[in-house]
């Protein structure tokens, strides 16, 4: 069931259309990733969903409530961790998080337990009485993320969960986001880290210049790139020209590059399904294989493919 529906959701800032007739549904319980180059409109979309800014056109329904007509009801279901933490600079993380927990309606025992847990998990326990003012960028971001982990909202919106955070911290936050999902939250995240999106998201949407380019599971998006997979083969002997031509005729093989006479790179679709056919082909042609390596396209390839495409089209 869709927990969020965006219908022609649009935001204009003067002449600039930051979000352009976005139509998307987000299913209850999924982790949904928003991707797109800087300025694509990710943050603007999220800020409309959390009712911080108003749409210029179109609408969004959050948990059954229209964000323009019943913003208060929609807001009750949502927690957000902002891209740029707007923390109270004079406060300590201890104060910020206890205050947040109180506003979210947690009981005093829940508050005590969750604030302690979040501070410990995010390695902030030792610094809990320091002023946030003296914190590094990554530490501030941790406090911002802690807010949502303490709140455990029905819909958690996280804008760039791990920018500025070190690799150990990233892994911790990724695990905590997964736990939040397991506890029943629907999670929407915007990120510029494709690895993060791939790791966490059930589905991702790629935006570009305010428009939705594509939306699907990371696996399906990777499969959608024609010739996106590749198999690299090193043979015991040189491959004759005729063999290369025959190889190209195998269904789903898109291109064959001869790197060296005995070293081939085969571009194809869904390589895992035709790998047996490829090895059999070389056995039949009496060309023993020395080594074979298969690799899948990453979400980086998908991103470059879709965003690159539109840039080219725009130039045309």
Ligand X SMILES: Nc1ncnc2c1ncn2[C@@H]1O[C@H](COP(=O)(O)OP(=O)(O)OP(=O)(O)O)[C@@H](O)[C@H]1O
Let me know: does 147 contact 173? Beta carbons within 8 Å.
Answer: no
Which of 18/101 has CB closer to ligand X?
18
Task: Look up residue 126 and give its DSSP letter.
Answer: G
Q: Which stretch binds ligand X (CB under 6 A): 13-21, 120-128, 131-139, 258-266?
A: 13-21
Name the residue among 45, 27, 25, 24 with its Cα closest to residue 36: 45
Per CB under 6 A, contacts with ligand X among 164-193 are: 192
Number of residues that bind Mg ion (CB under 5 A): 3
Residue 92, interface with Mg ion (CB under 5 A)?
A: no
Handedness of CA 254, 260, 261, 264 (dihedral sign): negative
Number of residues that bind ligand X (CB under 6 A): 13
**Cβ partners under 8 Å of residue 42, min gap 6:** 34, 35, 36, 159, 190, 207
Residue 17, interface with ligand X (CB under 6 A)?
A: no
Which of 4/101 has CB closer to ligand X?
4
- Which of Mg ion, ligand X, none lies near 18, with the C-beta cut-off 5 to 8 A by kind? ligand X
- The whole-angstrom separation of Cα 3 and Cα 14 is 31
Q: For the window 39-78, what string marks contact with ligand X as x by the rule CB under 6 A?
A: xxxxxx----------------------------------
Let me know: does 172 contact 122? Beta carbons within 8 Å.
Answer: yes
- The correct pick among 18, 143, 155, 247 for binding ligand X (CB under 6 A) is 18
Cα–Cα–Cα angle for 106, 107, 109, nearest 5°? Answer: 120
Per CB under 5 A, contacts with Mg ion among 182-221 are: none
CB 302, min distance to ligand X, A: 17
Which of 86/241 has CB closer to ligand X?
86
- The whole-angstrom separation of Cα 116 and Cα 124 is 9
CB 207, min distance to ligand X, A: 7
Residue 36, interface with ligand X (CB under 6 A)?
A: yes
Which of 46/253 has CB closer to ligand X?
46
CB 158, min distance to ligand X, A: 13
Strand order, beta sheet including 289-295: 253-260, 263-268, 229-235, 289-295
Residue 249, interface with ligand X (CB under 6 A)?
A: no
Containing 211, the helix (H) or strand (E) segment is strand 211-216
Name the residue among 122, 224, 126, 120 with its Cα closest to residue 171: 122
Per CB under 5 A, contacts with Mg ion among 58-87 are: 83
CB 50, min distance to ligand X, A: 13
- The whole-angstrom separation of Cα 146 and Cα 122 is 8
How would you class 197 by CB atoms within 10 Å of its CB: exposed for 0-12, middle for 13-18, buried for 19 or more? buried
| Tokens standing for residue 241 | 């020209």
CB 91, min distance to ligand X, A: 25
**Cβ partners under 8 Å of residue 55, min gap 6:** 9, 10, 11, 19, 48, 67, 68
Which of 41/85 has CB closer to ligand X?
41
The alpha carbon of residue 286 and the mean position of all alpha carbons in its chain are separated, in whole angstroms, by 45
CB 139, min distance to Mg ion, A: 20
Per CB under 6 A, contacts with ligand X among 78-117 are: 83
Residue 43, interface with Mg ion (CB under 5 A)?
A: yes
What is the contact surface with Mg ion in residues (CB under 5 A)?
42-43, 83
Q: Which residues here bind ligand X, judged by CB under 6 A?
A: 13, 16, 18, 36, 38-44, 83, 192
């Amino acid at each position: 069931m869709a927990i969020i529906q965006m219908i022609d959701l649009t935001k204009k800032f003067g002449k600039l259309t930051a979000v352009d007739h976005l139509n998307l549904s987000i299913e209850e319980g999924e982790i949904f990733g928003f991707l797109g180059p800087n300025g694509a409109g990710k943050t603007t979309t999220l800020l409309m969903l959390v009712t911080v800014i108003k749409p210029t056109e179109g609408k969004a329904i959050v948990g059954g409530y229209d964000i323009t007509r019943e913003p208060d009801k929609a807001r009750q279901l949502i927690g957000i961790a902002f891209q740029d933490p707007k923390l109270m600079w004079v406060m300590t993380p201890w104060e910020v998080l206890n205050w947040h927990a109180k506003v979210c309606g947690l009981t005093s025992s829940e508050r005590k337990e969750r604030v302690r847990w979040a501070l410990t998990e995010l390695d902030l326990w030792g610094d809990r009485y320091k002023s946030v003012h003296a914190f590094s960028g990554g530490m501030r971001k941790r406090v911002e993320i802690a807010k949502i982990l303490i709140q455990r909202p029905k819909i958690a919106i996280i804008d760039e969960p791990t920018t500025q955070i070190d690799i150990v911290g990233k892994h911790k936050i990724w695990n905590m986001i997964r736990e939040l999902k397991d506890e029943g939250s629907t999670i929407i995240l915007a990120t510029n880290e494709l690895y993060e999106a791939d790791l966490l998201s059930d589905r991702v949407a790629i935006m570009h210049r305010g428009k939705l380019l594509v939306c699907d599971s990371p696996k399906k998006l990777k499969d959608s790139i024609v010739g996106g997979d590749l198999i690299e083969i090193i043979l015991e002997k040189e491959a004759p020209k005729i063999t290369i031509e025959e190889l190209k005729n195998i269904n789903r093989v898109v291109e064959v590059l001869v790197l060296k006479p005995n070293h081939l790179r085969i571009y194809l679709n869904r390589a895992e399904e035709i790998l047996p056919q490829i090895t059999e082909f070389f056995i039949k042609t009496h060309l023993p294989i020395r080594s074979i390596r298969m690799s899948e396209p990453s979400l980086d390839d998908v991103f470059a493919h879709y965003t690159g495409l539109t840039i080219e089209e725009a130039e045309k």
